[in-house]
Amino acid sequence: MELMMLAKDIMQRKQNPITYPCYILNTRVDTEEELNSELSKIFLFTYRSGFDPLPKSSCRTDKGWGCLARSCQMMIGRMLAMHFRTDLRFAYFRDVDEPDAPFSIHNLVRGMLNQSLTFQPNFWSPTQGCEAIRYAVAAAVNRKLVKTPVSVLVAEGGTVSHRDVEFRLNEMGSVMLLIPVRVGIKRHINQQTFMALEHMMQTRLSLGVIGGVPRRSYYLVGTCGQRLLYLDPHSVKPAMIRAEDVSCDVEIAKTLPAVSWDRIDTSLLFGFFLKSHDDWIEFSAHVKKNTELCGIERLFYLDVGDGRRPDASDLLNNGQRAEDAIMTWSSSEEDDR
């Protein structure tokens, strides 16, 4: 069934090219030239093979399981490109287990492992992706590789705490806010959820969304009518080992993939960047406007410290954590181009 749906997506991509206007995050795009310009600011990381074994493992490739990890790298890359350009070094993403590569697949795995004794090349959940990002960003800051202080805050149970955000802003000066959610009990999102997703992606504070179709994780970066535009990590390339070999692919308009909203899995990981208290006020207002415009309850809940806690009617995800993995096909499937 998944092979059939993938084939359908490929056919639709050929038959239904990108139409204008479309959006890449908060930027309206009216021409192919403008789209290519916006895509040049987003970096494509894919499966790699031939790197040194991952921590607590003999695994030397992330083919077949690492699509969410590579999507995490893309979200980190977007944050650096937009807010820390002087700190952006592609060498930080090399596939090596070294201190000067804080965003490597090795370091992401180490953050995801936490206290686990061994690493198994299995599918990651959005919550595990959050832990990997938090660990990697903290490593970069602590090693002075990212010179501008930034803290990663992960929303628990779909709830963003005003107190936690304000504390992090006061302490570090900027916050990468990650919100893993499960937006419903069915396999795919509904149209109201798509409208809310589209609205939240179009705030200037958005870092995109890690989501996808069942068994495949993508980095969602925009919308085109009733479709979501994304970067796809499902191709295998040689590992980036040496600094001089480091390169990062950039998607172009003619090949940018899109997927219909009704194929999107209900497990999602939202990313936002807040650099001031004013940004937090703007973010809060955007969430409230999301509710008013889309006529639905919040994708996630803002705890403003009034003592009120969310109930089942407050959250589309009913307060669930996104433990269900957004999965890629196993390595035995011929999904890699």
Beta strands in 77-156 (DSSP E): 151-154
Q: Is residue 268 part of a domain?
A: yes
Supply the pLDDT for residue 183.
86
For 51, the 3-state DSSP assignment is coil
Supply the pLDDT for residue 209.
98
Q: Is residue 293 part of a domain?
A: yes
**Number of domains the chain is built from:** 1
pTM above 0.75, yes or no: yes
Report whether 134 contacts 168 (CB < 8 A). Answer: no
- Please compute the mean of the pLDDT values over residues 72-93 and round it to a whole number: 91
**Tens of pLDDT along 211-254?**
999 889 999 999 999 999 999 999 999 999 887 766 667 888 88
Structural domain of residue 128, as residue ranges? 2-303
Sign of CA dihedral 106, 110, 166, 288: positive
Which residues are CB-contacts of 65 (< 8 A; sequence separation ≥ 6)?
Answer: 121, 122, 123, 124, 328, 330, 331
Q: Is residue 310 part of a domain?
A: no
Q: Is residue 76 part of a domain?
A: yes
Q: Is residue 316 part of a domain?
A: no
Measured torsion, CA atoms of residues 159, 164, 165, 169, in degrees rounded to the nearest 10: -170
Q: Is residue 231 part of a domain?
A: yes
- Please compute the mean of the pLDDT values over residues 171-189 and round it to a whole number: 91
For 225, the 3-state DSSP assignment is coil
Which residues are CB-contacts of 205 (< 8 A; sequence separation ≥ 6)?
Answer: 272, 273, 274, 279, 282, 283, 286
Q: Is the pLDDT of residue 115 over 80?
A: no
Q: Is residue 193 part of a domain?
A: yes
Radius of gyration of the chain (CA): 19
Residue at 94: amino acid letter: R
Q: Is the pLDDT of residue 330 over 60?
A: no
pLDDT band, residue 16 (cuts 50/70/90): low
Strand partners, 230: 220
Sign of CA dihedral 67, 72, 75, 77: negative
From 89-93, 114-118, 134-138, 196-200, the region with the lowest mean pLDDT: 114-118
